[in-house]
Chain A
């Protein structure tokens, strides 16, 4: 890597410093060493690599606080290597993998394995999320403090909600020792049992079993109530219903320590995507209705929803080439997240500043990781995107092993040109 890199002429958006304007960024030895607005820093020198970012957005590297890398255990779906590279292609410079691997990341040994593997083979920073309970079984607390020591930054039984309210209460209480978030996959399994898509008009017409929206709302309400009495930090994962948005909004007004995320597919697609029994549109929580999309956008706009995360859930082709009931839940999301999220700016739901806050600064703050900023002397984690460039999302385009997205063969707008992690430059668009 060259000693010095200068990014010029780009539109820099850094909510951590309130910056939103044309300028240059100087990178030295993997760190940001200067940020110059207007044209203060012109020319550079021949010892520098110059990146001309004219017409592009220059953002702090995106942070995905909800992803699945599948390793250890499901390397046919994704590995730490392929997953982190796919993340890089999506503009992410840091991500948090969920613990539902095999073995489950419910102990410090697995946490250390993931961190070591990511250090050796990974393309971006990896901060694992440990399991709340041993084996994600929902009964005994996992060794949170030991995992924390090994590098875990938050805890979740993602994919398998903690159904026992007492265990969830204990988890929220105990997490206060470490001051880490407990991430809730909010789903009442007794209500969603057997369900494979949103319960409603489409599920009735396709003869598929439905997952009612209240299965999410009830658990969001429960976990907010538990957060209130325990004082633990609750984070609601992948909000998909208007009911959840309203519950979180009210809880925040009451001062409960709760944050929330949604995923691009929940503000982009409705349950209609399932028509034709499209298993690539099978995801949990399921794609909902246009009414939910409106509520989620309003939640993003008014700050109820703090974060946009991908819930990147890659699966092998054979696993999705099944009848709808038996195909696994999940959408491959790293490489489409920013394009879909930029749509929110085009629709005037969010300002660019708000969007970057939700994709970078807020997740960094919630997970307490040192990302999400372009401040001088921080790691040079930078994403450069052309917000207007269009591309076709083909299977070949997707680097992740998981090609499972209902957006296949759609044209998307907003293409990532460079992702820079600790000064290492990845150019996605050869000149």
Chain B
């Protein structure tokens, strides 16, 4: 695999499949009593987060520790960026620590692309602006494969704020590459300007999830309401909230996913979120295995 993982576009289909199969072996490690392998002992990994994150950062940190790497968390509050601290200086500082891997989250799209060209360490994108979140897409694909056996031919509805969602963007690329059929469901105000080839768009949730195998609900960001993307949370729930009643339109074995953190009662009802149809906590567990696989494979020649 290439030195960096900044976009799903960097991965060939075989590489995605290799990550998933490697993740399956690492998941076995996680089930053991001693959940640790020496695969990356002595490697230095820096988690460089310019945006608040608990889930993704801890998931990466745990994955790194399970691989016996040395981990450094470097959180830069957005405020100091505003004050004019140079991104370049920060990254060069980290490079000077001798980091082998930099896991980067940044509020601006394209930052991992920019930095990956500057540093010799492997850069792994942990979410850049509204652009991509590749490891989330990989763990979602892993979860679907685990639950459904394959992605080939599955209908997947991604529901909500597609336009501003790096999860949706990476997922549509990753799922399409693995043979799933992707639908975007949401209000026109939250649809991307350009719809990727092969993706079907639905403004009506009932139609959009009819017969689907997977429903991927996206987090509603409250600041979107202030910018007139939609009128109110209750109206949003009325139109796009995932409820049991609506779930009946989907395939009887359909699973419900959410990248977290959830807004219960806005994009998903508590009943659905807590039901056995939801695989939200499996996604969290799988995230560790998938991130172990990514860290293990990235920049490796033989893979």
Alpha-carbon gap, A207 to B194, bound state (A): 11
Most buried by B among A210, A276, A323: A323
Contact A324 B194 (CB under 8 A): no
Contact A325 B129 (CB under 8 A): yes
Number of A-B contacts (CB under 8 A): 62
Contact A200 B193 (CB under 8 A): yes
Q: Give the interface segment out of B23-31, B105-113, B275-283, B286-294.
A: B105-113
Given contacts A323-B87, A325-B108, contact A209 B130 (CB under 8 A): yes
Contact B193 A323 (CB under 8 A): no
Q: Mark B117-134, 1 if CB is under 8 A from A, else 0.
A: 000000000001111100
Chain B residues contacting A206 (CB-CB under 8 Å) are 109-110, 131
A39 interfacial contact with B, CB 8 Å: no
Contact A207 B86 (CB under 8 A): no
Alpha-carbon gap, A206 to B192, bound state (A): 12
Alpha-carbon gap, A323 to B195, bound state (A): 25
Chain A residues contacting B169 (CB-CB under 8 Å) are 207
Chain A residues contacting B131 (CB-CB under 8 Å) are 206-208
Alpha-carbon gap, A26 to B1, bound state (A): 67
Q: Which residue of A lies closest to B113 (CB)?
A: A277
B88 interfacial contact with A, CB 8 Å: yes
B181 interfacial contact with A, CB 8 Å: no
Alpha-carbon gap, A323 to B48, bound state (A): 15
Alpha-carbon gap, A326 to B131, bound state (A): 15
Contact B128 A207 (CB under 8 A): yes
A102 → B minimal CB distance (Å): 16
Pick the residue among B87, B128, B194 that contacts A200 (CB under 8 A): B194
Chain B residues contacting A200 (CB-CB under 8 Å) are 193-194
Within 8 A of A (CB), among B179-196: 192-196
Given contacts A205-B194, A207-B129, A276-B113, contact A318 B86 (CB under 8 A): yes
Q: Which residue of A lies closest to B117 (CB)?
A: A276
Alpha-carbon gap, A132 to B196, bound state (A): 43
Chain B residues contacting A427 (CB-CB under 8 Å) are none
Residues of chain A whose beta carbon lies under 8 Å from any beta carbon of chain B? 199-201, 203-210, 276-277, 318, 321-326
- In addition to A200-B193, A321-B88, A323-B106, 18 A-B residue pairs with Cβ atoms within 8 Å of each other are A200-B194, A203-B193, A203-B194, A204-B196, A207-B109, A207-B128, A207-B130, A208-B109, A208-B131, A277-B113, A318-B88, A322-B87, A322-B114, A323-B114, A324-B109, A324-B111, A325-B108, A325-B110
Residues of chain B whose beta carbon lies under 8 Å from any beta carbon of chain A? 86-88, 106-111, 113-114, 128-132, 166, 169, 192-196
- Contact sample, A vs B, 9 pairs, CB 8 Å cutoff: A201-B193, A207-B128, A207-B129, A207-B166, A208-B131, A209-B130, A322-B87, A322-B88, A323-B87
